[in-house]
Structure 1
């Protein structure tokens, strides 16, 4: 199962209650909050790789056979957990300041 960075970002923003729309492409691509029009995501040119291969696929077979590892949660749930945890950390930091 493959995902794009755009899919990850869209899923993460949705988990935070923000619907985004994307504009532009490459280093000029941005994501805007649909409700406010505010730019909430943009490409950092220091990390943009225009010659990047389009598709990188990992194979979990070795982890499954050697370690007995099995995926237990979906992509959606993983992203939601990550966002929830980050939002909780931000709240704790804000409370301590």
Structure 2
């Protein structure tokens, strides 16, 4: 919304300026639904396993790699903060993950109701 209010069209990076791993994201997301992950293996053989059942819930899939994969990505929100007054830290990472999980659960519930 703030970008649309800008007087002239410009590109802005919308990011927190913080860096988090897929492992950290998955650990939090599963925790919000009551599942504790245990991480086993390394690199291409790393898996997130449900501690309670031993079932593999997260695994590396090379088909999702980008052609020019980079080790880390970190967005710089300085321009959006300075020109638009946007606060990239208004929603902490943990809260963002929680909201994403809640949204997915709501969508899942809607889809299940459609099946009835």
Per the TM superposition, whether the score is higher than 0.5 is yes
Report SS of the residue matched to 1:41: strand
Q: How many pairs are equivalent?
A: 96
Instruction: Between 77-86 and 28-37, report the one with greater CA deviation.
Output: 28-37
TM-score normalised by structure 1 residue count:
0.88
Q: Which residue pairs with 2:35 in the alignment? A: 18
Q: CA deviation at 1:14?
A: 0.8
| TM-align CA RMSD | 1.6
TM-score normalised by structure 2 residue count:
0.75
Runs of 4+ in 1 over 6 A off after TM superposition: none
Q: Which residue pairs with 2:61 in the alignment? A: 44
Distance in 2 of aligned mates of 1:48 and 1:38: 24
Q: Which residue pairs with 2:91 in the alignment? A: 73
- The answer (yes or no) to whether the contact 1:27–1:48 under 8 Å persists in 2 is no
- For the pair shown, the structure with the greater C-alpha radius of gyration is 2
Relative contact order, higher structure (CA 8 A, sep 6+): 2
